[in-house]
Amino acid sequence: MGDTGTGGDGGDGQVRTWLVKRSYDSRNLITLVYATPDGERAVTRELSSAVLDRTPVTAARDVDPDDLATVAADDRERYRAEAERVRENNDPGDEI
């Protein structure tokens, strides 16, 4: 299922990323981290719980390459493994 390339190609010059982390804080903010399949680059989104009620969280997102940041070395393998797990078990548009 989904993209198996290291960078991911979402089409139109965009990069396919996969949900690798979801966390909540005391201010009702939800942080979503989507990473490339190789775990090297990621994009972070912060959403309020109210916005999250109206915005589905999908297994994958296609993002502009300029929006991707380099992942800290300590997190890369974990992000790579989680992106692989999510990619193998979900289609990109699946809500998770």
Each residue of 22-67: pLDDT tens digit?
A: 998 878 899 999 999 999 999 999 988 888 788 889 999 999 999 9
Q: Does residue 30 fall inside a structural domain?
A: yes
Model confidence band, residue 9 (pLDDT cutoffs 50, 70, 90): low
Whether 32 is covered by a domain: the verdict is: yes
Position 2 in a domain: no
- Closest to 70 measured CA to CA, from 35, 41, 34, 36: 41
Tally the domains of the chain.
1
In terms of residue numbers, what domain contains 20? 15-89
Task: Please report whether residue 94 resides in a domain.
Answer: no
> What's the mean per-residue pLDDT of the chain?
89
pTM, rounded to two decimals:
0.85
pLDDT class for 4, splitting at 50, 70, 90? very low
Q: Is residue 9 part of a domain?
A: no
